[in-house]
Amino acid sequence: MASNKVIPTENELKAFNLDDPQTIELIQHARDGHEADAKLTLLEAVKKYKKACFWALFLSTSLIMEGYDLVIITSFYGQTQFKERFGTVDPATGDKLITAPWQSGLSNSSVVGQLAGLLINAWAQDRFGNRPTMMAFMAWLLAAIFIPVFAPSLPVLAFGEAMCGIGWGVFQTLSTAYACEVVPPIVRPYVTGYVCMCWGAGILLSSGVVRAVASIDGDWGWRLPFVIQWVWPLPIIIGTFFAPESPWNSVRRGKEDEARKNLKRLREDTPDRDLEVEAALALIVHTMRLEDAETEGSTFFDCFRGTNLRRTEINCVVWAAQILCGNAILGYSVEFLEVAGFNELQAFDLNISLSACYIVGGIICWLLFPHFGRATIYMSGLLFMFFCLLAIGGLGFSTNPNANIAVGILLVISTLVNMITIGPVCYPIVSETPSGRLRYKTIVIGRFVYNLTGIFNNSVTPRMLSALSWNWGAKSGLFYAGTNLLCLIWCWFRLPETKDRTFGEIDILFENKVPARKFKYTKVDQFAHQGEINEKSGAVEHVDEVA
């Protein structure tokens, strides 16, 4: 099939003095660094960058805390001890329930805190770096956990969730951005996908803890799960203190010597390490210069200018689709299963199975990465979940008692599919599509939209499921089948394929306005210098290849 080969545009080359021998030497060093990493197999890259992989995975463990607490709250809505302490009597049955408005309020309070944390992080990461930001907000979380542990009322508990949410908002984007910047492209989907597995590990842990305290009477039945959150911050603070800073972050802050030092720490000590470090640093500097003309100010406003608007759009929709794909129902699995007919302990037991899918699915997704593109895996997951949601919604109209079992099975299947495809693949997509100078801000904007979508979900889904409100039950699946379909249609036309691309190649593809469906088949030469530009007239070279 016909394909294009694209090179840096004249606009991108404005930041280069291509008559300067030192600039040409920089480009050659950058090319050498790119070609060296491009030749590595996955195992060779992991061996060479095992220190970088370790630190990327270590900082991602902060997401365990977020996944743990966000699902703890929704699990409490079906817990007897929590309902006895804070619930309202249902006039129809005489049982105590957490009302839909308070379910929305508790879930949204942490999301509001996360929105504030995201904005703080976008500023702090660029100004201070990843390490100081991570340590500062881990210390913040140590203090904030006291509030939900000893909350005497729902308003105080909501306030405590908001304060904790500030820290979680910081970790949401910091860990993803750090992971994608410290490893070569071939390893990038694995370490960024691991971020999602950590989030799932927190969910699995919370499911097990809530099941374990089900037999504890009184307030400690819901307080103990909050107490467990104190296990994480201190070890992560100590580990982060010894972690190397992201070289991309150092260059972004004008500290090339710091970047050089950290590049040495992130790779194995070999006879050619110094030369490799200089080539890697040149690649970072070269990529940053390519972006200079498009991201002059590196402000939030720049995320909505020129080709960066398209990158921001991709980030926002890919994040929002994490919820709109139908994951919103899975997040309320305990209450959903109780509404579908399961008793409390059965719901908690099945919820543990659902949560385990996050780990199993992530491992399966790792096996898919070498063979399939990000966009292919992502859209396949959306399509499969669409049919599962249709089936779940249809079962909501059935009066057959076995329909409840079918709903439970479909929830497990949907969760597994989600965590093989949509869940982990989101992270490499949102980390690869932004420009280097605007990466933190673009990811923050996307995650901000995700949290706003979460507020919508937390406001609507409890009302769908609550017996005191709309009482849709399994019919809720039809609503999210509709939102899933809208996301799938958008992905087909707008989601580009970034598999095996360097950040510089992705920059050039966006700057040349290559359509999403052609990203996969377009060749890129990100190191074209003045002679090549003159020869090709700074335009697009048309070539033919068999795709």
- pLDDT of 13 reads 56
- Rounded to the nearest 5 degrees, what angle is found at the Cα of 186, between the Cα atoms of 184 and 189? 100
Question: Residue 1 corresponds to which tokens in the numbers above?
Answer: 């099939």
Q: Could you tell me which residues are beta bridge partners of residue 279?
A: none
Q: Could you tell me which residues are beta bridge partners of residue 88?
A: 97
- pLDDT of 166 reads 93
Q: How far apart are CA 65 and CA 237, in angstroms?
A: 14
- Could you write out the three-class secondary structure of 74-118? HHHCCCHHHHHHHCEECCCCCCEECCHHHHHHHHHHHHHHHHHHH
- pLDDT of 544 reads 35
Decide if 286 contacts 528 (C-beta within 8 A). no
Global pTM value:
0.81
Q: How far apart are CA 308 and CA 294, in angstroms?
A: 8
DSSP secondary structure code for residue 245 in this structure: P
- pLDDT of 534 reads 43
Phi, psi of 472 (to 5 degrees): -75, -30
Q: Which residues neighbour 456 within 8 Å (Cβ) at sequence distance 6 or greater? A: none
Q: How far apart are CA 423 and CA 330, in angstroms?
A: 12
Q: How far apart are CA 145 and CA 148, in angstroms?
A: 6
Written as tens digits, the pLDDT of the chain (547 aa) is: 445 667 666 665 555 555 556 666 666 766 777 777 778 889 999 998 999 999 999 998 888 887 887 778 877 887 788 888 888 877 777 778 888 788 878 878 888 898 899 989 988 988 899 999 999 999 999 999 999 999 889 999 999 999 999 998 898 889 888 998 999 889 999 998 898 888 888 888 887 887 788 788 888 888 898 898 898 899 999 999 999 999 999 998 889 999 999 999 998 887 878 888 888 888 888 788 776 655 555 788 889 988 899 999 999 999 999 999 988 777 666 665 665 567 767 776 777 777 788 888 999 999 999 999 999 999 999 999 999 999 999 988 888 877 777 887 788 788 889 989 999 999 999 999 998 888 889 999 999 899 889 888 877 887 887 767 788 878 888 999 999 999 999 999 999 999 988 888 898 899 889 999 899 889 887 776 544 444 443 334 433 333 3
